[in-house]
Amino acid sequence: MALAVLYTFRRCPYAIRARLGLLLAQCNVEIREITLKAKPLEMLAVSPKGTVPVLVLPNGDVIAQSLDIMRWALMQRDPLDLLCHKNPAADKMALLIEQNDVQFKPWLDRYKYSDRYPEQTQADYYRQASCFLIQLEHCLSETPFLVSHTPRLADYAIAPFIRQFAAVETKRVLSDDFPAVATWLERLMSSEIFISAMHKHVIWNASHAPIYLLGDW
């Protein structure tokens, strides 16, 4: 049986998000790790925008948005109800993910690449990005995870970006300003599913034997 193909880049938070969704759904795919400096023509042929992740389904359909990949996978299998079907938390979860993607991510980029945005200082961008973490800190004062006592879609969709935020300045310790967020992030990053999502693969080449997300197929 043919499997979907995932073009991915290990450190990209969007790609991490997609891999987490597939792993959580136990949805096996062929993994094609790329390098951003030499994007494979096979990927560009199906998704000319040239960003990862890109999931190519066996029927040729292409899903090129990380959140759509997560939802597609979990629609196949979601035993832990990560999508929060018929759950009051679903609206809160959707709002948090939207705020992460639309509001927080642009400030995160400016904070991480502050030399490209000289209009403000890195410290200014840190404060702007921190507004979202203040909100997460409040959420985590009510429950161990963002919308529930167990991880849901929002936790896995947002954690890769907070991971990136925490790694920008080695002199800053996330727990100093956001202790609840730091504890939450560590719990997720030390989980078996997150460790699996961060497994390092060789750069894909058409001459190589296929590599699968869930192992040999």
Q: Which domains does the chain have, with CATH numbers?
A: 4-81+195-212 (3.40.30.10), 89-193 (1.20.1050.10)
Q: What is the DSSP letter of 146?
A: S
Q: Give the model confidence (pLDDT) of 70-121 as tens digits.
A: 999 999 999 889 998 777 889 999 999 999 999 999 999 999 999 999 999 9
- Quote the pLDDT of residue 87: 77
In this prediction the pTM is 0.96
* 180: confidence class by pLDDT, cuts 50, 70, 90: very high
Give me the mean pLDDT over the 34-40 stretch.
94
Alpha-carbon span 19 to 10, nearest angstrom: 9
Specify the higher pLDDT residue, 181 or 84: 181
* 155: confidence class by pLDDT, cuts 50, 70, 90: very high
Residue 112 to residues 123, 143, 175, 183: CA-CA distances in angstroms?
Answer: 11, 29, 18, 22
- Quote the pLDDT of residue 216: 59
- Quote the pLDDT of residue 89: 87
Q: Give the model confidence (pLDDT) of 10-36 as tens digits.
A: 999 999 999 999 999 999 999 999 999
Number of alpha carbons in the 13 Å side-chain half-sphere of residue 88: 1
